[in-house]
């Protein structure tokens, strides 16, 4: 999967003759599927034009702080908040000094000051004497101590006719550094994971459907946590209001049969997490036209939907090494959860209560993890109420431990 697909890159172009290379960098980023928003400083605009930057990026090149046009469309705070990575290429000596000392007198420096939780990559470019100046080196060290990433500068012929360190790295080199930043190397590197999430909708007629209140937040959080640990993730999602997670293959479905078909059509997986709230039944027949009130209440016959968790857990060929199911209950949680892990044939089961502001649609969850041990005994572990993101991370930590114990990591 393309590591830069749908990544939001904020490119700051400061003053220097090498600003012309930034135009090629924009093109290469776009070719790799990234969204590129550019800030062109006053110095940068002495070498390339806002029009050329806008034409290549497909976005308005921003140049000034507190203009009515730009602040109305996108504030300088949101510029840093929405970026996945901020790249400064070229990064002039002046820009590096402003970053080191926390100045905010321009759009670029204000955005960088607000980017306290965002990764920043600088590609320095300046005369070699400016680069070697102790003040510049001290500023660079300050940035490195704060976790700022750096590429270059390279040595060679400089615009002033001299030779030395100070050349901005080539666009391909900067692109490789950006790709390296987004390349996740974690304990699950090389593992493939399948995650189902959200509800299923079973149509009654062209307008109505049978569904449930699942938001997909827990399933999507698990998919992202697996991705962040290096797994290659496929997410099969029912209808939700959630955006597609980045760097995850997402398949959108509506019905339980659609979900089963999507899961079985994918290649073999090492991990399967069936977090979707799949409808147990569907109407035996679907009305071709919208059902009307005609003096009597319609009678609807139902038939059982396929059991996706059971189908995956009991596969004779290419069964995932670890199959995890979910049990959502409104009563007798422990009783139903123990029965489900046995009859479904899954290895682990996450049980949670739903209804009355519990689980479905909420930001937090409280779960019990059931696992079969080496003697086929079921061991339960209660996890306290916490955010769904934290539960997802905790589950993936347990998955890491499982594969380590199997000698598969």
The helix-helix angle for 107-114 and 93-101 (nearest 10°) equals: 40
CA–CA distances in Å: residue 144 to residues 15, 119, 225, 249, 399: 21, 12, 28, 34, 34
* Beta strands at 202-203 and 154-157: parallel, antiparallel or unpaired: unpaired
Q: Which of 121, 124, 101 is nearest to 14 (CA)?
A: 124
Please provide residue 95's backbone torsions phi and psi, each rounded to the nearest 5 degrees.
-65, -40
Distance CA 354, CA 241 (A): 19
The answer to whether the CB of 214 falls within 8 A of the CB of 276 is: yes
Asked if 346 is an active-site residue, the reply is no
- d(Cα 214, Cα 195) in Å, to the nearest integer? 15
Q: Alpha-carbon distance 245 to 248, whole Å? A: 6
Catalytic residue among 38, 160, 263, 346: 160
Contact 86, 109 (CB under 8 A): no
- Rounded Cα gap, residues 131 and 94, in angstroms: 11
Query: Tokens at residue 149, please?
Result: 């990433």
Element (H, E) at 385: strand 378-387
Q: In what order do the strands lie in the sheet with 120-124?
A: 35-40, 8-13, 85-91, 120-124, 149-150
DSSP code per residue over 19-31? HHHHHHHHHHHHH
Rounded Cα gap, residues 311 and 319, in angstroms: 10
Hunting for tokens 């029912």 — which residue is that?
238
Active site residues: 160
């Amino acid at each position: 999967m393309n590591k830069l697909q749908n990544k939001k890159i904020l490119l700051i172009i400061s003053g220097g003759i090498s600003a012309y290379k930034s135009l090629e960098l924009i093109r290469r980023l776009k070719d790799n599927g990234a969204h590129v928003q550019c800030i062109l400083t006053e110095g940068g605009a002495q070498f390339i034009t806002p029009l050329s930057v806008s034409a290549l990026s497909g976005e308005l090149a921003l140049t000034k702080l507190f203009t009515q046009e730009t602040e109305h469309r996108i504030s300088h705070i949101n510029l840093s908040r929405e970026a996945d990575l901020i790249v400064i290429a070229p990064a002039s000596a002046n820009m590096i000094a402003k970053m080191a000392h926390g100045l905010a007198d321009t759009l670029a420096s204000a955005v960088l000051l607000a980017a306290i939780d965002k990764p920043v990559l600088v590609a320095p470019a300046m005369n070699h004497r400016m680069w070697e100046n102790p003040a510049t080196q001290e500023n660079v060290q300050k940035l490195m101590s704060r976790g700022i990433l750096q590429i270059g500068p390279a040595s060679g012929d400089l615009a002033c006719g001299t030779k030395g360190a100070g050349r901005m790295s080539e666009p391909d080199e900067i692109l490789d550094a950006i790709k390296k930043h987004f390349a996740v190397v974690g304990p699950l590197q090389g593992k493939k994971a399948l995650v189902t999430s959200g509800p299923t909708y079973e149509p009654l007629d062209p307008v109505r459907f049978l569904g449930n209140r699942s938001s997909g937040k827990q399933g999507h959080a698990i998919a992202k946590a697996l991705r962040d640990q290096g797994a290659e993730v496929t997410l099969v999602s029912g209808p939700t209001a959630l955006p597609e997670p980045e760097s995850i293959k997402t398949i959108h479905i509506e019905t339980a049969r659609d979900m089963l078909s999507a899961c079985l059509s994918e290649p073999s997986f090492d991990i399967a997490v069936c977090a979707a709230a799949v409808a147990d039944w569907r109407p035996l027949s679907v009305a071709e036209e919208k059902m009307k009130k005609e003096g009597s209440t319609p009678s609807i016959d139902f038939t059982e939907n396929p059991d996706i968790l059971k189908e995956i857990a009991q596969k004779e060929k290419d069964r995932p090494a670890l199959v995890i199911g979910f049990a959502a209950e409104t009563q007798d949680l422990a009783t139903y959860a123990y029965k489900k892990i046995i009859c479904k044939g899954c290895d682990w089961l996450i049980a949670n209560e739903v209804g009355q502001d519990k689980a479905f649609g909420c930001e937090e969850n409280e779960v019990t993890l059931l696992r079969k041990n080496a003697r086929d005994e079921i061991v339960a572990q209660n996890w306290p109420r916490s955010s769904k993101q934290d539960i997802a991370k905790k589950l993936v930590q347990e998955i890491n431990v499982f594969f380590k114990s199997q000698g598969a990591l």
